[in-house]
């Protein structure tokens, strides 16, 4: 097991034990998350996700937590519906390492192979189904808001994962109540994770992190 995965799992278990005590208000959790991330910047992405999910899952008025990610790397086979590349298959396994202890109870994807194949290893580990929701030319404009509405209605108080595409992830985050993130680079960005915390009352909060291997940046001339 990779060192970061051991750290992730170990800290999560410790947090689960520690939260048997009465939980503070959600706003207190958000403040603590930010402080912890700054203190432990070396493992910032791990701490951000761990603390957000542990805090949200044990808050007195449990919010809905939605992990929104893009599918993993796709094969360059020239088709309209490519499968994952070798790097994408590896990233899908890294997603298991990241999220298997997060309490995910449902996974939503589009109908495309690359999105469903990204979800399958985690779904298999958790023994939960993958729910494909079709996106097409007719419903593309309304897709993010309808998906967000359905997820929040069906999974209130739960942890849900949505696996989308570079041109849907920012809109889905916004539809869930968060601030729309910056555009995702279609060619290089497959590692971004948006943890959207939607309380029963008040505005949603978004924590941004990354997972798996990042592609090296092209050196500037």
Q: What share of the chain is helix, strand, coil (3-state, %, to 5)?
A: 45, 15, 40
* Angstrom distance (rounded) from CA 137 to CA 158: 30
Mean pLDDT, range 93-115, rounded to an integer: 93
Is residue 165 included in any domain, yes or no? yes
In which band, very low, low, confident or very high, does the pLDDT at 212 lie, cut at 50, 70 and 90?
A: confident
Residue 58 has pLDDT above 60, yes or no: no
Number of domains in the chain: 1
Residue pLDDT, tens place only, 162-210: 999 999 999 999 999 999 999 999 999 999 999 999 998 889 999 998 9
Domain of residue 171, CATH code: 3.40.50.1240
Is residue 52 included in any domain, yes or no? no
Is residue 25 included in any domain, yes or no? no
In which band, very low, low, confident or very high, does the pLDDT at 42 lie, cut at 50, 70 and 90?
A: very low
Is residue 32 included in any domain, yes or no? no
**Which 8-state DSSP code applies to residue 42?**
G
Write down the pLDDT at residue 17: 35
**Which 8-state DSSP code applies to residue 49?**
H
Domain assignment of residue 160, given as a range: 62-210
The residue among 65, 44, 91 whose CA lies nearest residue 173 is 65
Name every residue whose Cβ is closer than 8 Å to that of residue 142 and which is 6 or more positions away in sequence.
none
Residue 134 has pLDDT above 70, yes or no: yes
Is residue 221 included in any domain, yes or no? no
In which band, very low, low, confident or very high, does the pLDDT at 9 lie, cut at 50, 70 and 90?
A: very low
* Angstrom distance (rounded) from CA 104 to CA 69: 13
Instruction: Please give the model's pTM, rounded to 2 decimal places.
Output: 0.76
Partnered with residue 114 across adjacent β-strands are none
């Amino acid at each position: 097991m990779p060192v970061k995965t051991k750290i992730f799992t170990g800290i999560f278990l410790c947090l689960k034990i520690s939260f048997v005590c009465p939980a503070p208000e959600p706003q207190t959790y958000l403040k603590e998350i930010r402080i912890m991330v700054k203190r432990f910047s070396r493992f910032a992405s791990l701490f951000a996700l761990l603390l957000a999910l542990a805090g949200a899952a044990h808050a007195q008025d449990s919010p809905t937590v939605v992990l929104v990610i893009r599918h993993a790397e796709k094969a360059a086979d020239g088709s309209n519906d490519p499968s994952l590349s070798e790097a994408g298959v590896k990233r899908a396994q890294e997603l298991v390492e990241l999220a298997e202890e997060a309490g995910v109870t449902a996974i939503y994807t589009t109908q495309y192979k690359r999105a469903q194949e990204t979800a399958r290893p985690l779904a298999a580990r958790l023994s939960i189904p993958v729910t494909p929701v079709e996106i097409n030319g007719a419903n593309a404009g309304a897709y993010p808001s309808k998906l967000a509405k359905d997820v929040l209605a069906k999974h209130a108080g739960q942890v849900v994962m949505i696996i989308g595409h570079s041109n849907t992830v920012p809109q889905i985050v916004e539809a869930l109540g968060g601030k729309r993130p910056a555009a995702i680079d279609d060619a290089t960005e497959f590692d971004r994770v948006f943890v959207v915390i939607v309380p029963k009352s008040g505005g949603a909060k978004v924590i941004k992190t990354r997972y798996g291997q990042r592609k090296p940046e092209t050196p500037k001339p």
